[in-house]
Structure 1
Amino acid sequence: MPGSTPPIDAVPPYERPFARLRATLRRLYHGDSRAALRFQAAALIVDLAIIALFIAQPVLKNTEAFLYVDYSVAAVLAIDIGARMLASRRPWHRLKQPVVLLDLFILITLLLPETLINFGFLRIVRLWSLSKTGRLWQPLRRKGLDEWELPARAVVNLVTFLFLATGFIYTTFFRNDGLEGYLDALYFTVASVTTTGYGDITLDGSWGKLTSIVVMIIGISLFVQLAQAIFKPAKVHFTCPQCGLQRHDTDAVHCKACGHILNIPNDES
C-alpha cells in the first residue's frame, strides 16, 4: 500500500531504531493494550488541561508566569503533534488534515504570543478538533455508552462557541485587562446566545450590533442542535458493509442509505 510503513526487518539496519520508535508510538496512540489505554487516557488528560489553560489565558496573560506557561504548553503540543505524525502510517497525508493544520496554527500562536496576541482566542477551537478526531469519545465507546456521544458532541460544540465568541468579544471590544473584562465578555456572550437580554453591557457601534446578531444566530442554532441530540431517537454505531453508513436506528433491518440488509448485534442476540 502506498505510504504504508514496511516491516522493521525490511528496513535498512541504520533506520531500524527510527522504525521501532514509530512502531512503539503507533501501538501507544492506536493500540488497545492496557499500557496503550493508560497512555491514551494520560494524553487526553493533558489535552483537557491545555484547553483549561487556553480558557484561563485572559486572566493569566498579565502575570509573570504567563510566558513560561505559554512556552511550556507549546513544547507539549509540539511533542504531541510530532509523535502523532510519527505514529501515522501516512504522515504527509495527515499533515493535510484540517485538525492538524489547526493544531499547527495554535502552536504558532503559542510560540509568538506577543505578535499574535489578538489571535489567542482561537486556541479554544482545539476542543472542537479533539471532538472531531474522536479522541474525546473513546472512553464512552469503550464503556458501551455510544448513545451519549451525539449529545456530548453538541455540548462540546456549544461550549467551544461560547468561549470562542467570548475571546473574540474580549479581544475586540473590552479593553479592561484581567478577570473583570473577561467576565463582562462572557456575560455578554451568554446573554446573546440565550437571548435573555443584555442588562448594562452592550457592544457599541455597527460592528458591535453585527457581532451581537451573529452570536445570537449561531447560539440559537447550537441550542437547537443540542435539543435534537438529546430528544431524538438514539442511534447505534454499526458500519454498513455496502455503503459505509455508520449511524442507524436501534431496530434497523435495512440501511437507509443503500437498503443493504443489516445484522446489528444487541444484548439479546
Structure 2
Amino acid sequence: MGSHAPSGHGDTPRDVVRFYLLDHQTTVGKAIDIGLLALNLVFVAVFVLETYPFSAGLQTAFWRIEVLISLVFLLEYVLRVYGAKSRPAEIFNFYSIVDLLAILPTLAVLVSPVPIITANIGFLRAIRVVRVLRFYRFTQDEEFFFGTVSVGTLRVMKLLLTVLTIFFVAAGMFYSFEYRVNPEVSTFGDAFYFVVVALTTVGFGDIVPVTRGGRWVTVGAILAGIVLIPWQASKIVKEWAYKDKVNVVCESCGLEYHDPDASHCKSCGHVIYQEYDSRE
C-alpha cells in the first residue's frame, strides 16, 4: 500500500474508504488501526468479564459496551465491503468472515424479542469466542501503525498469536459447554486453566470435562495444537534458513534465493550475476 493519501482529485468515496482502511502510515490510517485494535481488546475482555459474578449493574454495562463495539465493527465490515475493489472477494475473504462471525451473536441477541434468554443460549456464547481471530487481521503484512517489521518477526508474532488463539478459543468453547453442569468450571479463568494444563500434557486432574461437548473441545484443541503450532514454527525455521540468502532469480529456471557468493544456479547450473563483497 502506498504512503500517498488521496489527493481529492479524481478519488471516489470508495477509493478514500479503501485507502484509509488499508493504510498504516498516515495519521488517519494509524488512528483507525489503533482504534480498531483497542476496541478488539475490549471486545475480547468483555467476553471474559461477563463470565464472572459481577453485579447486575456491571453486567448491564458490559452488555452495552459489547453492543456498541459490535455496531462499530458492523460499520467497519460494511465500509470494507463498500470500499473493496472486488466486493465478492472481500465478502468471502477469511478475515471478513471472521469479522462477521464475531459480531453476529451479539447482533442476534440485540434483535431478539427475548434478549436475556437468547444471550444464554450455549451456541451463541460459544460462537462469540471467534472474535479473538480478528487479531489475525493485524498480521496480514509486515506493515503496522508503529512501523514495518521483518518477515521473520511477523511469523514469530503469528506463532504466538496462534498459540494464544488455540488456548482462548478452546477455553471459551469449553466454558460454554461446562459452566452449567461442571462445579469446577464457574468462570472463563477456570476453563483457561484447564485448557493450558490439558494442552501442555501436565494433567493435574483437578478439572475434568463432564459433558460430551467439553470432551470433544479438549480433543479438538489438542489436535489443533499438534497441527497448527508446528506448521507456524516451520515457517519461522524456513525463514531463518533463508536469512543469509540473496533474492536473485535465475533467468533459466526461475529459482529464487541463492548463496551470496553463488555464480551459478544450484538447480540448473545457469550462470547468474550478483554483486558480492569478497571482504565478507
Structure-1-length-normalised TM-score? 0.70
**Given that residues 193 and 220 in structure 1 are in contact (C-alpha distance below 8 angstroms), is that contact kept between their aligned partners in structure 2?**
no
Residues 177 and 213 in structure 2, CA contact (< 8 A), matched pair in contact too: no
Deviations 1:20-55 (A, max 9, x none): 432321231234434333333333333333233334
Partner of 1:240: none
Query: Cα distance 1:228–1:261, how it changes in 2: closer, same or farther (>3 A)?
Result: closer
Aligned-residue CA RMSD in angstroms?
Answer: 3.8
Matched, 1:109 2:114: no
Contact 1:166 1:182 in 2 (8 A): yes
| Alpha carbons of structure 1 residues 66 and 201: separation in structure 2 relative to 1, 3 Å | same
Distance 1:99 1:198 in 2: 37
Cα distance change on mapping 1:255 and 1:195 into 2, 3 Å: farther
Give the CA deviation at 1:198. Answer: 3.0
Work out whether residues 17 and 83 of structure 2, in 8 Å CA contact, stay in contact via their aligned partners in 1.
yes
Residues 9 and 71 (structure 1), Cα distance of their counterparts in 2 relative to 1, 3 Å cut = same
Cα offset for 1:209? Answer: 4.3
Structure 2 unaligned segments of length 5 or more: list them. 1-7, 110-114, 261-275
Match of 1:166 in 2: 171
Could you say which residue in structure 1 is the equivalent of 2:129?
A: 124
Unaligned runs of 5+ in 1: 1-7, 11-18, 237-247
The residue number in structure 2 matching 1:197 is: 203
% same residue: 18
Kept after mapping to 1: 8 A contact 2:30/2:145: no
Which letter maps to 1:234? E
Alignment length, in residue pairs? Answer: 239
Aligned pairs (5 A) from 1:206-221: 208-221=214-227
Superposed CA offset, 1:106-161 (max 9, x none): 32201123436422233332333441573585328943332111121111111111
Q: 1:251 is matched by which residue type in structure 2?
A: K
Distance verdict in 2 for CA 1:130–1:64, change over 3 Å: closer
CA distance in 1, matches of 2:206, 2:14: 56
Q: Which one of 239, 245, 256 corresponds to residue 251 of structure 1?
A: 245
Question: Which structure shows the higher helix fraction?
Answer: 1
**Larger of the two Rg values belongs to structure:** 2
Q: In structure 2, which of residues 15, 19, 22 is the aligned counterpart of residue 30 of structure 1?
A: 22
